[in-house]
Amino acid sequence: MIPLKIATCRPLPEADVDEQLLLDALRAEGIDARLTPWREDVDSEDATPTIIRSTWDYIHHVPDFFRWAEAVSLRAPLWNPLDIIRRNAHKSYLLELQERGIPVTPTILAHRGDQRTLAAMVAESRWVDVVVKPAVGAGSFETYRLRSDDSRCNELFSKLCAERDVLIQPYLPSVEGYGERALVWIDGEFTHAVRKSPRFADGAESVSEALPISSAEVALGHAVLHDVADQLLYARVDVAPGVDGMPVLMELELIEPSLFLMQSPRALRRLVEGIGRRLQSDARY
């Protein structure tokens, strides 16, 4: 059997419902997949290829995570690769994509230590109902829906900004109806979407069954991935209708996104086949 590491973390901040599903599917194809907490992966001689999956605590140890990913990349293939990890970890990529003409949820980046209030930050945009979240984050960690005209919200924002870079975005009402859609991309194509309910700090994730992807969402997804698609094994493009009803990018997840494999057997099969092809083509085998 061909060995493969599935990078995770322990303890998991929440259950990974796709973990056993992926393990079983890989082993059924002759791939000896084993879960490896990234912070315990210190064997500098181990040349086993690695796929990143549930390394969800990396946001609290970013320099260590980068060092781990670099060390792995020097001795074996890593999917998704190191360059992608470095570029995707900080959500300032949203501003870069916006500069390229990609429709993105309007975003303000507040740098750590900025002394301005939330109200001052959004004064020019005139946003009142906003979402704030860390520029380096995962899940719903420190993600809040706030009102810029509420002094208590300004206090919370100031606390967050004192600790880290923070994104400020207008709250899109469409996430309550049509919903935020997570578009899952695996090995060259979009496989399915799920609807994600709004989720804030300490909230539980609620997702739908597999859903079709509209033509407008597919077009946006391909535009977002255009410059990096050939480097990716997997991706998730989170979108929602903007004020004009057309989809806008909420987040681009290229490091350790949930891929909702339970909702789509086809996506699971495509991921396993994509991993298998990469393992077979690697010179070590």
Residues contacting residue 265 through CB under 8 Å, at least 6 positions apart: none
CB of 274 within 8 A of CB of 187? Answer: yes
State the pLDDT confidence band at 199, using cuts at 50, 70 and 90: confident
Instruction: Please indicate, yes or no, whether residues 145 and 197 belong to a single structural domain of this protein.
Output: no
Closest Cα partner for 162 from 109, 108, 111? 111
Burial class (CB in 10 A: 0-12, 13-18, 19+), 204: exposed
- Count of Cβ atoms closer than 10 Å to residue 69 Cβ: 26
What's the whole-number mean pLDDT along residues 232-236? 98
With a CB cutoff of 8 Å and minimum separation 6, the contacts of 165 are 90, 92, 109, 110, 111, 112, 134, 135, 136
* 99 and 112 share one domain: no
Q: Does 276 lie in the same domain as 250?
A: no
Residues of the chain above pLDDT 90, percent: 89
Q: How is residue 193 annotated by DSSP?
A: E
The pTM for the full model equals 0.95
Looking at 137, 171, 205, which one is the last position of a domain?
Answer: 171
Query: What CATH number does the domain containing 28 carry?
Result: 3.40.50.20
Tens digits of per-residue pLDDT, 63-96? 999 999 999 999 999 999 999 999 999 999 999 9
246 with 211, same domain: the answer is yes
Q: Which of 128, 155, 171 is the last residue of a domain?
A: 171
Same domain? For 149 and 36 the reply is no
Stretch 195-218: mean pLDDT, rounded? 88
Q: Note whether 162 and 198 are same-domain residues.
A: no
**98 and 206 fall within a common domain:** yes
Closest CA to 137 of 160, 121, 157: 160
Do both 61 and 136 map to the same domain? Answer: no
- One DSSP character per residue, 73-87 reads HHHS-EES-HHHHHH
Specify the pLDDT at position 86: 97
Q: What is the pLDDT of residue 201?
A: 72
Residue 28: its H or E element: helix 19-28
The answer to whether residue 284 scores a pLDDT higher than 70 is: no
Domain range for residue 271? 2-88+266-281
Domain identity same for 97 and 129: no
Q: What pLDDT is recorded for position 202?
A: 66
Domain CATH for 162 = 3.30.1490.20
pLDDT for residue 181: 97
pLDDT value at residue 285: 41
Q: Give how many domains the chain has, as a whole number.
A: 3
Kindly provide the residue ranges of all beta strands, DSSP E only, lying in 123-179, ordered along the sequence: 129-134, 144-147, 166-170
Question: Looking at the predicted structure, is the pLDDT value of residue 197 above 90?
Answer: no
61 and 122 fall within a common domain:
no
Tell me: do 97 and 183 sit in the same domain. yes
